[in-house]
Amino acid sequence: MSNEKIILTGDRPTGRLHVGHYVGSLRRRVELQNSGEFDKIFIMIADAQALTDNAENPEKVRQNIVEVALDYLSVGLDPAKSNIFIQSQITELTELTFYYMNLVTVARLQRNPTVKAEIKMRNFEASIPVGFMCYPISQASDITAFKATVVPVGEDQEPMIEQTREIVRKFNSVYGETLVEPDIMLPTDASCLRLPGIDGKAKMSKSLGNCIYLSEEPEEIRKKVMSMYTDPDHLKVSDPGKIEGNTVFTYLDAFCKDEHFAAFCPDYNNLSEMKDHYKRGGLGDVKVKKFLNEVLQSTLEPIRNKRHEFEKDIPYVYEVLRKGTEAAKEVAAETLHEVKDAMKINYFDDAALIAEQSEKYKA
Ligand code: ATP
Ligand code: MG
- pLDDT single digits (tens) 188-229: 888 888 999 999 888 898 878 899 999 999 999 999 999 998
Neighbours of 200 (CB within 10 A): 17
Cα distance between residue 159 and residue 165, in whole Å? 10
Inter-helix orientation angle 314-342/91-100, to 10°: 40
Q: Is the domain covering 6-194+314-357 a CATH 3.30.420.40 domain? A: no
Q: Residues lining ligand 1, CB < 6 A?
A: 11-12, 14, 20-21, 24-25, 153-154, 156-157, 194-195, 203-207
Q: Which residues lie below 8 Å from residue 80, measured CB to CB, with a gap of 6+?
A: none
Give 154 Cα–ligand 2 centroid separation in angstroms: 9
Q: Going by CA atoms, what residue is nearest to atom 7 of ligand 1? A: 205
Q: Between the CA atoms of 206, 212, 213 and 214, what dihedral angle is there, to the nearest 10 degrees?
A: -140
Q: Is there a contact between 277 and 283 (Cβ–Cβ < 8 Å)?
A: yes
Domain(s) of CATH 3.40.50.620: residues in the chain = 6-194+314-357
pLDDT in tens, 236-294: 999 999 999 999 999 999 999 999 999 999 999 999 999 999 999 999 999 999 999 99
Kindly report the pTM of this predicted structure: 0.94
User: Residue 182 — pLDDT band, cuts 50, 70, 90?
Assistant: very high
Question: Residue 231 C-alpha to ligand 1 middle, in angstroms?
Answer: 25
Mean pLDDT over 152-173 rounds to 96
Q: How confident is the model at residue 309 (pLDDT cuts 50, 70, 90)?
A: very high
pLDDT value for 206: 81
Query: Which ligand is closest to the CA of 50, given by its number?
Result: 1
Q: In the chain, list all ranges with CATH 1.10.240.10.
A: 218-310
Q: Given this model, what pLDDT does residue 70 score?
A: 98
Question: Which of 172-176, 177-181, 351-355 is the least confident region?
Answer: 351-355
Does residue 296 have a pLDDT over 80?
Answer: yes
Burial class (CB in 10 A: 0-12, 13-18, 19+), 78: middle
What homologous superfamily does CATH list for 218-310? Tyrosyl-Transfer RNA Synthetase (1.10.240.10)
HSE, CB side, 13 Å, CA atoms: give it for residue 26.
23
| Exposure letters 16-33 (e unless 16+ CB within 10 A, then b) | bbbbbbbbbbbbbbbebb
Summarize the confidence of residues 39-54 as an average pLDDT: 97
CA atoms within 13 A on the CB side of 188: 3
Angle between helices 314-342 and 158-175 (to 10 degrees): 40
pLDDT in tens, 81-130: 999 999 999 999 999 999 999 999 999 999 999 999 999 988 888 899 99
Q: What is the pLDDT of residues 316-353, one digit of tens each?
A: 999 999 999 999 999 999 999 999 999 999 999 999 99
Short-list 179, 178, 186, CA closest to 165: 179
Expressed in angstroms and rounded, the spacing between residue 81 Cα and the centre of ligand 1 is 23
- Predicted local distance difference test score (pLDDT) of residue 1: 65
What pLDDT shows up at residue 298? 97
What ligand 1 atom has the least distance to the C-alpha of 193? 29
Closest ligand to the CA of 51: 1
Question: Which residue's alpha carbon is at the smallest distance from atom 16 of ligand 1?
Answer: 21
